[in-house]
Structure 1
Amino acid sequence: MARNGIHHVTAIAGDARRNLDFYTRILGLRLVKKTVNFDDPGTYHFYYGDEAGQPGAILTFFPWAHVAPGRIGVGETQETAFRIPESALGFWTERFVAQAVSHEAPRTRFGETVLPFRDPDGMRLALVAVRGAENEAGWTGGGVSAENAIRGFHGVTLMLDKAAATGAVLTDVFGFEQVATEGGVTRFRAGDTTVGGIVDLNEVGGFLPGRPGGGSVHHIAFRAEDDAAQSAMVEKLAKGHGLRTTEQKDRDYFRSVYFREPGGVLFEIATDVPGFAVDEPADALGGALKLPRFLEPHRARIEEALPDLSPVTASVDAA
């Protein structure tokens, strides 16, 4: 059976220590991998996720200390949403109040209760209360118990001028199907995929274009089980949609190609293999700075240039 859905989401942040603190201490996610931006090795690349770092649960960041704020707009990811058990909604609402996390009142979308919030850089996020999610394993971190833990991505919302051509790529290439419409938002679901299985397209014709920066999403990666599945997707993009991808790039934990979808959002196709345990044991993920082979000779210089990640001393109310 094809493994469809979101592989990971990569965003831009400001201060590295603040970003690490928020996602591990406040949201309770696991730091699955600590490496560098392969194209800018003076910058960290953090991967946050669940215990195993499974596809569909990984949010990654490039933290640049003095990055200018981004602006939400057309051709950009409007919101990234995580899944939580329905019973955890009260816990998270109270936690956001206690930790002074910017958030809005819960609302209903597509029959589900959604709690929108923002990270310290203004990135638009949400928790979606999902029935049955309590039966899935949850990572316990930052004072967040297993029963309240985040269970990977619910999905993403893309802001587009026109949605039809993007929807065609989702259905024809990535195996999604259109399942519902609410207002100007059309929902696509990747079969019976639970983690990372939803993409919502918000058609807002005439809106200003987005501007990359702190708090904005750099790209959305979709799953390909292996190189052969990725190659088939690349062929479909070219023959059916006139879209060309980059050459394949080895990211150590997956292999990737990139392209701009018709609405302007940067998409990636990432293989599930080899995964995040390829260079450190599963029980030690995120414990050491990992560098690609071509950067390993420069480790001392890279470590000296990277920002200080000394722990933030503020305590957590884990109630």
Structure 2
Amino acid sequence: MSIKTSGLHHVTAIGGDPQRNADFYLKTLGLRLVKTTVNFDDPGTYHLYYGDQSGKPGTLMTFFPWKDAPTGVQGTGQATTTSFSVPEASIGWWKRHLAAADITSSEVKNRDGEDVLTFRDPDGLTLGLVAHPQGDPRDPWDNGHVPAEHAIRGLHSVTLSVSKEDATAEMLTDGLGLTFANQEANRLRFTAGEGGPGALVDVLVTPDAPRGLVAAGTVHHVAWRAPDEATQAAWREELVDSGVNVTSILDRQYFRSIYFREPGGTLLEVATDEPGFAIDEPLLELGRALKLPPWLEPNREQIQRALPKLDLPSENDLERA
């Protein structure tokens, strides 16, 4: 491929109760709710976007939360860990913070020169906090729940679990333009662009692990960045010409998307950086109101009746009380 991604755009997972999901990611992890909308393919379900102040690509974790969703199975053919970047000196603070919230976390481990702490969200989704020794220049969302000096800077990496690595590695390097960085036992690391937090993917080879089942507590897809629609369209043509089964370009209101599966089974997306989350509400008010795309707006009353009420904290805006 002649086109290469610069890094992660977002990770989308399946959640359970929407209120519990919002409470955890807003209050415990200290992210900002940058968009409250619905699953465009199933508008009776929320699509909640969490990120930094403006929801920049590379900071976004999003959820389809179904209150009565069955529990999924983490295994091969999935992204099994989503990791966030935190300051190097903050891992100890986070371990104490999670414990105070009754969240069990692992011991701090060092991998590839980085301190790593893993834990699960209320639906069982595996998450990580990683402190990169060279730091992370991205600014955090400072909403008062997590002090800015310890706050999450954005996505760090994802881990894909596969039973065999060769075809997946080929897709990452040839299809997405990533570079193989190193291997430690059964874990292979690949980097996008200049590398560093937000531009990393690990491939964990576990041939004896069960096949994953996407439902609550699992990742639905992993999205990679394209700078604009023209690049995305050219990228899609290259993927199709190489024999990849790719969707048409879909309008996700805040970006354009194409989807395809890597050979190990994980659903991948290429999403545009443009136009962003401030196209239908001011930056100061991101996430505070239910936003619908034009083609769903005529059904607003029906959609709102079907959605459970969300009680969002006042800190979800810049001018907090």
Matched, 1:77 2:79: yes
TM-superposition CA deviations, 1:96-154 (whole Å, max 9, x none): 11110121111111121100011000000000012343643111125211111101011
Which residue in the other structure is 1:151 paired with? 153
SS at match of 1:223: strand
Q: 2:199 aligns with which of 168, 181, 197?
A: 197
1:290 maps to 2:295: no
- C-alpha separation between the residues in 2 aligned to 1:46 and 1:273? 18
Q: Which amino acid aligns with 2:221?
A: H
Counterpart of 2:156, as a letter, is H
Q: 1:248 — aligned with what?
A: 249
Corresponding residue SS for 1:23: helix
The CA RMSD measured in Å over matched residues stands at 1.6
Aligned to 1:130: 132
Counterpart CA distance in 2 for 1:40 and 1:263 is 26
Q: TM-score, normalization: structure 2?
A: 0.93
Matched, 1:60 2:62: yes
- Aligned 1:103-142 pairs, distance under 5 A: 103-133=105-135, 135-142=137-144
1:215/1:286 CA distance change after superposition, 3 Å = same
Counterpart in the other structure of 2:26: 24
Question: Aligned partner of 2:170: which letter?
Answer: A
**Where do 5+ consecutive residues of structure 2 fail to align?**
314-321
Large movers: runs of 4+ above 6 Å: none
Whole-Å Cα distance in 2 between the matches of residues 310 and 135 of structure 1?
A: 32
The residue number in structure 1 matching 2:181 is: 179
The SS at the match of 1:300 is helix
Percent identity between the two aligned chains = 50
* CA distance in structure 1 between the aligned counterparts of 2:228 and 2:311, rounded to whole angstroms: 38
Residue 236 of structure 1: CA displacement? 2.6
Gaps of 5+ in 1: 313-319
SS at match of 2:296: helix
Distance in 2 between residues matched to 1:54 and 1:193, nearest whole Å: 17
Distance 2:312 2:227 in 1: 37
Distance of 1:86 and 1:134 partners within structure 2: 9
* 1:195 shift after superposition: 4.3
Query: What residue in structure 1 maps to residue 318 of structure 2?
Result: none
**Which of 227, 243, 246 does residue 229 from structure 2 map onto?**
227
Asked whether the 8 Å contact 1:160–1:205 carries over to 2, the reply is yes
**Corresponding residue for residue 7 of structure 1:** 9
> CA offset at residue 191 of structure 1?
2.5
CA distance in 1, matches of 2:104, 2:19: 19
Q: How many residues are aligned here?
A: 311
1:43 aligns with 2:45: yes
Which of 215, 218, 230 matches 1:216?
Answer: 218
Quick check: 2:5–2:224 contact (8 Å CA) kept in 1? no
1:311–1:144 Cα change, 3 Å: same
Cα pair 2:105 2:118 within 8 Å, conserved: yes
Q: Tell me the alpha carbon deviations over residues 180-228 of structure 1, each in whole angstroms, 9 at most, x when there is no partner.
A: 1011010001131444200000111242110111110000111111122
SS of the aligned residue for 2:159 comes to strand
Give 1:309 shift.
Answer: 1.3
Is residue 87 from structure 1 mapped to residue 84 from structure 2 by the alignment? no
Segment drifting more, 166-175 vs 44-53: 166-175
Q: TM-score, normalised by structure 1?
A: 0.94
Q: Structure 1's 3 and 257: CA in aligned 2 closer, same or farther, altered over 3 A?
A: closer
| 1:168 CA displacement | 1.5
